[in-house]
Amino acid sequence: MKQRGEFGLIELIKEHFPTPEGMVGIGDDCATVPTSGDDLLTTTDMLIEGVHFVRSKSSPEDVGWKSAAVNLSDIAAMGGTPVATFLSIALPRDAQGEWVERFVEGYAAISHLFGVPLLGGDTTSSLRDIAINVTVEGRCERGRAISRRGAQVGHTIFVTGALGDSGGGLKALLDGDERTPEVEYLTAKHMRPMPRLAEGRELLTTGMVGAMMDISDGIASDLGHILRASGVGAVVELSSLPISEQLATFCGARGLNKFEFATSAGEDYELLLTAPAELATQVSFPLYPIGTIVEGEGIEWQLDGEQTEFNPQGYTHF
Ligand code: ADP
Ligand code: MG
């Protein structure tokens, strides 16, 4: 079979299912469906053992936390409020006892933190690997959910927090690195991402945001989605990327390129958005400007104002 790539396959499915008028469908962080009141938001994501987590390297509580977190993050990315989650799990025999009990502890911890009930799901067996699917329903004022399509020439590109920490943490885990303070910090960021729900809501209420999404695959890939959806290009300044001291130390000690992590490693679950530059003074949390929306297509990467050859790709599944 011809390999289409992850996004080619999604395009193929989309050809069979054009989005009905008045809804947001395939291609955004959440689908939106109008109701007589608020719009209904829905998002769903899978976590597969061996692909998204390695059982011997991640605690079950952390996997539970992350399963809910990455889905709640998609609600944050539209500026919505989560209403309920649904959890489906396929478990091999050796995960049906203590592993899944501890998984549920972690899932419950983040659900309670954000006050989101779980209302259903499905439970089944698996021959070998653990598979988890979470669906989250949310709501948002009618027609106000922030899509990926509203980036405008002249907008500043912002992110809500440090980039690349999760990728550094994953590398440390897979390499079995000694648990120095920066390794502890980075692995915690990897295992316990914080969905930016309060920030997403506050950003929506400013009415100033053009396009928004959460960063799951790294800005090299994710900003590309906003650019294609909006029909614009971008200039991104590498020296403006918020990079933690911990990631800089980690990369420095190993001869790794911190910009590679900050642009391509993904799973930071910070928000990526475009808006007039003044937005930064209108919100109660830090926003980091990393570049500008321009006419054209694709991303031009700059270092200290000069175009660079650096050409990160971002993460895709196949
Ligand atoms: P995210 O990282 O925000 O969860 P994804 O990259 O998983 O987004 O998906 C991108 C878009 O494609 C989303 O709108 C998602 O709903 C849609 N999508 C992904 N896989 C499928 C599929 N198998 N069928 C229909 N839509 C899909
Ligand atoms: Mg998303």
Residues 116/120/123/128 CA torsion (nearest 10 deg):
-40
Residue 190, C-beta contacts closer than 8 angstroms, at least 6 positions apart: 165, 166, 167, 168, 169, 170, 173, 267
Q: How far is the CA of 307 from the centre of ligand 1 (A)?
A: 32
d(CA 219, CA 263): 5
d(CA 43, CA 60): 23
Question: Is residue 274 within 6 Å of ligand 1 at its C-beta?
Answer: no
Ligand 1 atom 19: residue of nearest CA: 10
Query: Which superfamily, per CATH, for 156-307?
Result: PurM-like C-terminal domain (3.90.650.10)
Mean pLDDT of the chain: 95
- 6-20: pLDDT as tens digits: 888 999 999 999 999
Residue 176, C-beta contacts closer than 8 angstroms, at least 6 positions apart: none
Average pLDDT over residues 227-253: 97
In this predicted structure, what is the pLDDT of residue 261?
96
Question: Is residue 10 within 6 Å of ligand 1 at its C-beta?
Answer: yes
Residue 2 confidence (pLDDT) above 60? no
Residues 186/191/192/194 CA torsion (nearest 10 deg):
80
Question: Is residue 17 within 6 Å of ligand 1 at its C-beta?
Answer: no
Ligand closest to the CA atom of residue 30 = 1
Q: What residue ranges of the chain are covered by domains with CATH 3.30.1330.10?
A: 14-140
CATH number of the structural domain 14-140: 3.30.1330.10
Higher pLDDT residue, 146 or 8?
146
In this predicted structure, what is the pLDDT of residue 186?
98
Which residue, among 93, 315, 286, has the nearest Cα to 219 in the 3D structure? 315
Ligand 1 atom 21: residue of nearest CA: 10
Q: How far is the CA of 11 from the centre of ligand 1 (A)?
A: 10
Ligand 1 atom 2: residue of nearest CA: 216
In this predicted structure, what is the pLDDT of residue 4?
72
For residue 144, give the 3-state DSSP assignment: coil
- 208-234: pLDDT as tens digits: 999 999 999 999 999 999 999 999 999
Residue 124, C-beta contacts closer than 8 angstroms, at least 6 positions apart: 88, 89, 90, 91
Torsions phi, psi for 314 (to 5 deg): 80, 170
Instruction: Quickly state the pLDDT bin for 1 (edges 50, 70, 90).
Output: very low
- 18-50: pLDDT as tens digits: 999 999 999 999 999 999 999 999 999 999 999
Question: Is residue 267 within 6 Å of ligand 1 at its C-beta?
Answer: no
Question: Is residue 29 within 6 Å of ligand 1 at its C-beta?
Answer: yes
Question: Is residue 28 within 6 Å of ligand 1 at its C-beta?
Answer: yes
Instruction: Quickly state the pLDDT bin for 315 (edges 50, 70, 90).
Output: low
Q: Say which amino acid occupies 136.
A: V
For residue 162, give the 3-state DSSP assignment: coil
In this predicted structure, what is the pLDDT of residue 312?
81
Q: Over pLDDT 90: what percentage of the chain? A: 93
Q: How far is the CA of 213 from the centre of ligand 2 (A)?
A: 6
Q: What residue ranges of the chain are covered by domains with CATH 3.90.650.10?
A: 156-307
Q: pTM (2 decimals)?
A: 0.95
- 87-141: pLDDT as tens digits: 999 999 999 999 999 999 999 999 999 999 999 999 999 999 999 999 999 999 9
d(CA 88, CA 25): 22
